[in-house]
Amino acid sequence: MSFDPAWMASSFPDIVGITEIKRGGQKSVYGGTHSSDGQVVLKVFHPSANPDRAVREVEAARTILCPRIPRVLELGRAPSNLGEVVWLREPRIPGQDLRIVIGTGPLPPADLMRLTLHALEALAAAEQVRIVHRDVKPDNVIRGADGSFWLIDFGFARHLDLESLTASGAEHAFGTLGYSPLEQCQNRKDDIDARTDLFSLGVTIHECATGVNPYRAGSPQPAEVFRRVEQEPLPPLPNPVDADDCFRDLLLAMTRTRREQRIDSAAEALKWMREIAAHENIN
């Protein structure tokens, strides 16, 4: 759904030039200029959305202290003719999401390593406060105008110390098929942790390096995507990214089909990536 422009203008008088950026099942995302904060992103959750999930996104973003994740500037509720809506405001990151960036071609090696370093910094910070993003994919990573990378959209995040908002035994878990690992596809909630996000990040990096997500190549039916995730390990990168080819090993360690065979934590993956980055002068 899309919110009425007149309602938007009256509900958010401190923001001018409000324009829709994208629309999803849970919320609509707008850009505009705030009277004191400059360029901002405004997320307005649809009245039909689970308000607990909306608040969960805000709390996740507020809890994780990391320069690779946009901070929440303001949270509120507003009445509408469809019911009360929850909204939040964040600074807008100048740049483009990776889906647009890789539409023009794969990323060069230096950008691949910088993407991995910055995304792992975000995931390690989330891991420290026991939050799993659950929807890492090119659409949810921004490449800033300065070449940095930001992890966005914690709308599907789960705090491992809080009760899940997805029913046990539900047929479908939150996430995106083709990026989600096996335990997430099967909604095995007790098995979801930082290693879930590491798998999704690894698939994202592979796609950014090759231009293809092998699980989704050829636009297969969902059952075929699931079969590939379950039965076909992510192929090794065809070409070395760093001089010692350690990057390829890290990617494989992040994307093993079975969770227990992956690298143990985002912190450990970050330590590995920092060693590669130091050797390659990436920051």
Domains of the chain plus CATH, in order, are 5-91 (3.30.200.20), 95-280 (1.10.510.10)
Q: Is the pLDDT of residue 56 over 80?
A: no
Q: Which of 21-25, 40-44, 217-221, 234-238 has the lowest mean pLDDT?
A: 21-25
Q: Which of 77-86, 88-97, 155-164, 185-194 has the lowest mean pLDDT?
A: 155-164
Q: Is the pLDDT of residue 167 over 70?
A: no
pLDDT given at position 173 = 61
In sequence order, the 6+-apart residues with CB closer than 8 A to the CB of 18 are 5, 8, 9, 12, 30, 31, 32, 42
Report how far residue 234's alpha carbon sits from residue 215's, in angstroms, rounded to the nearest whole number.
8
Question: Do the beta carbons of residue 18 and residue 12 sit within 8 Å?
Answer: yes
- Scan for tokens 């050797």, then name that residue: 279
Question: Do the beta carbons of residue 122 and residue 66 sit within 8 Å?
Answer: yes
Specify whether 135 is catalytic. Answer: yes
pLDDT given at position 85 = 87
Question: pLDDT tens, 171-224?
Answer: 556 789 999 999 999 989 889 999 999 999 999 999 999 999 999 999 899 999
Strands 95-97 and 141-144, sheet pairing: antiparallel
Q: Write down the catalytic residue from 111, 135, 197, 242.
A: 135
β strands within the chain, DSSP E:
15-23, 27-34, 38-45, 74-78, 85-91, 95-97, 131-132, 141-144, 149-151, 158-159
Question: Do the beta carbons of residue 233 and residue 188 sit within 8 Å?
Answer: no
Transcribe 89-109 into DSSP letters. Answer: EEEPPSEEEHHHHGGG-PPPH
Q: Which of 5-14, 56-65, 235-244 has the lowest mean pLDDT?
A: 56-65
What average pLDDT score do residues 97-107 get?
A: 96
The residue type at 21: I
